[in-house]
Chains A and B, each alone.
Chain A
Amino acid sequence: MRRDCLRTTLRRLVPRWRLLLLLIGAGTPACAQEARFDDGEPPSMGTRAAPAPAVPNPADSQPLLVPAMFACRAVRSDDTVGAEQYPVPKPPFSKDIFPCTRCHDKPDDINPRSRNLVAMHGDIKLAHGSREQWCYDCHNPTERDKLRLAGGRLVSFEASYELCGQCHGEKLRDWRRGIHGRRIGCWNGQRQYLLCVNCHNPHAPTFKPMHPRPRPKRPSEIHFDQRSES
């Protein structure tokens, strides 16, 4: 009885011809197509101050979490929304900059004074918040591969949104809901939540203006030869 019921329900949900089409569809490479970005540009806005986190194209560097259409059908949004764990891509570190402990391997002299760095990290020009901001407001001074929240709790770079959310609480709230920021993948299943730092340079977060793609043609500029048409 129960099996019968299950079968009818299944049949109602997925008519047979649809199953067939699904199977046909699953075989084509296009379904497994990754998210595409035009002209391979980073998802960031414009150019940023030299080698500060060179944002890679997330479609190039990380495999999308959702390779095939079946995955999209499998997960319902209830499973992800509201959960504390967010599937995020790797933070966009500059080349060879991480782990920090490769250089900062022993306890340093900590100079909390705001100043211009010369010997190292000279490319970073802080333009974020007050002028008194300094590395250790966010970076942990001892265990360097971590970020430090104001309350002293350490978070990984993958959870940097928690750090950003300390000041930008309403943005974090909207980001968790899917209103702020970018997501790639399935509207109803697995998707990648781009981190704050995937789009905003954490050291200078304001978006830079960018060059627009070509404008549409005006009607007067469209010419086609009707005689050449068969």
Chain B
Amino acid sequence: MTIDPRRKLPVITDAPARDGGDGESRRAFLKMVGKAAAVGVLAACDAETRERLFQKSFREMSPAELKKYVARLERDYKAQYGVDIRVGAEPPIEGVVFAYALDISRCIGCRRCVHACVEENNQSRDPEIQYITVLEMEKRHGVDLEHATAYYEPEQVPREGHFYFPVSCQQCDHSACERVCPVGATWKEPDGVVVIDYDWCIGCRYCMAACPYGARRFNWTTPKIPKAEINPNTHVLGNRPRPKGVVEKCHFCLHRTRNGRYPACVEACPVGARKFGNLLDPNSEIRQVIDTKRIFVLKEELDTSPKFFYFYGT
């Protein structure tokens, strides 16, 4: 047994020495019985069940398998919700790394983004799941999480002496969540978006404990979404309806952004505080922000290298 320095997990590199004799024959016998039982069970169930049983993780699927998988998801959703849902599987666009910037000198804490996100991304309405947490902070303390609340509800915003600080998944380059996932169900895509394979997630919530931004949400129950409010435009790694017992989070609206559109929150923001674009394109809005404004990232000291920037536009 050696330690793979990359994964820091024990890896079995060579088979243990066989002892021969009785142990060997008993093992051979049990193996044979096991195989026979498996063959029997598999023969009894239909092709689709077999397919589900041996489904690979998203990253291991061949294009043909992915196509079949997506078609099956669409059938499942039709049966479950009675709605025709398109499950897209658009791959990352070459030469594109997504990044986000938020102008905290403009945000007024109206929570339009929060609710636009819920509607766009088929989040559970009951129990409530929201990807964006808008924190109300005090101007005299500055950006200080010790003096922040998400539960503010004044008649009018912005409140005197306060500013607002929306937090969602920061799409870290060095993501803690990816490192702790024991099954490899969450990873960073080539376009920089940290995604989750909802069919591979085992619901252990290690990633939620590891995330320093509190960006991940857990489906304690089967998500409840009124049929009329389901967004039928989805992505397999993004906003397709989630099963019970898996973790979810912001994915930069993959179903929109990989098709060129702005994320829903960008278009919903009434003050234009949210900016989005390709980090590798020097003319993109996001690069203009980074090149010309005072920017910072949240919890820089943790070296997570977020692709979510905060800036002061004024």
Whether A25 lies near B313 (C-beta < 8 A) is: no
B193 to chain A, nearest CB (A): 13
Q: How far is the CA of A38 from the CA of B130 in the complex (A)?
A: 16
A186 to chain B, nearest CB (A): 4
Whether B270 lies near A185 (C-beta < 8 A) is: no
A67 to chain B, nearest CB (A): 11
**Set B127, B150, B257, B292: member contacting A224, Cβ < 8 A:** B127
Whether B221 lies near A226 (C-beta < 8 A) is: yes
**Set B152, B259, B264, B313: member contacting A174, Cβ < 8 A:** B313
Whether B261 lies near A17 (C-beta < 8 A) is: no
Whether A210 lies near B110 (C-beta < 8 A) is: yes
Q: How far is the CA of A20 from the CA of B63 in the complex (A)?
A: 11
Query: Does A81 have its Cβ within 8 Å of any Cβ on chain B?
Result: yes
Whether A212 lies near B157 (C-beta < 8 A) is: yes
**Set A43, A187, A213, A217: member contacting B284, Cβ < 8 A:** A187
**Set A33, A45, A209, A222: member contacting B233, Cβ < 8 A:** A33
Q: How far is the CA of A24 from the CA of B289 in the complex (A)?
A: 35
Interface residue count on the B side (C-beta < 8 Å): 70
Whether B156 lies near A209 (C-beta < 8 A) is: yes
Cβ of A217: which chain B residues have Cβ within 8 Å of it?
A: 127-128
B130 to chain A, nearest CB (A): 6
B26 to chain A, nearest CB (A): 40
Whether B221 lies near A229 (C-beta < 8 A) is: yes
Cβ of A103: which chain B residues have Cβ within 8 Å of it?
A: none
Q: Which of A127-135, A152-160, A175-183 contacts B (4 or more CB under 8 A)?
A: A175-183
Cβ of B156: which chain A residues have Cβ within 8 Å of it?
A: 209-212
Whether A185 lies near B261 (C-beta < 8 A) is: yes
Main secondary structure of the interface of A (DSSP, over half): loop
Task: Fill in one digit per residue for B251-273: 1 if any A CB lies within 8 Å of its CB, else 0.
Answer: 00000010111101011111110
Number of A-B contacts (CB under 8 A): 190
Quick one: which of B119-157 are within 8 Å of A by CB?
119-120, 126-128, 130, 133, 150-157
Whether A73 lies near B284 (C-beta < 8 A) is: no
Query: Does A205 have its Cβ within 8 Å of any Cβ on chain B?
Result: no
Q: How far is the CA of A181 from the CA of B264 in the complex (A)?
A: 16
Query: Does A95 have its Cβ within 8 Å of any Cβ on chain B?
Result: no
Query: Does B232 have its Cβ within 8 Å of any Cβ on chain A?
Result: yes
Task: Fill in one digit per residue for B74-103: 1 if any A CB lies within 8 Å of its CB, else 0.
Answer: 000000000000101111001010000001
Whether B119 lies near A179 (C-beta < 8 A) is: no
Q: Which of B9-17, B43-51, B173-181, B274-282 contacts A (4 or more CB under 8 A)?
A: B274-282
Query: Does A151 have its Cβ within 8 Å of any Cβ on chain B?
Result: no
Q: List 10 A-B contacts (CB under 8 A).
A: A15-B63, A17-B64, A18-B90, A30-B86, A69-B261, A180-B313, A181-B272, A187-B260, A213-B111, A216-B128
With A17-B64, A211-B156 known, 18 other A-B pairs at CB within 8 A are A13-B94, A24-B88, A36-B268, A38-B115, A38-B116, A38-B119, A69-B259, A77-B281, A174-B313, A178-B284, A179-B313, A181-B272, A187-B262, A187-B278, A188-B277, A199-B270, A211-B155, A224-B127
A→B interface (CB under 8 Å)? 13, 15-18, 20-22, 24-25, 28, 30-31, 33, 35-38, 41, 43-45, 66, 69, 71-73, 77-78, 81-82, 174, 177-189, 191, 194, 199, 207, 209-218, 222, 224, 226, 229-230
B→A interface (CB under 8 Å)? 63-64, 66-67, 70, 86, 88-91, 94, 96, 103, 108-112, 114-116, 119-120, 126-128, 130, 133, 150-158, 220-222, 231-233, 244, 257, 259-262, 264, 266-272, 275-278, 281, 283-285, 288-289, 292-293, 313
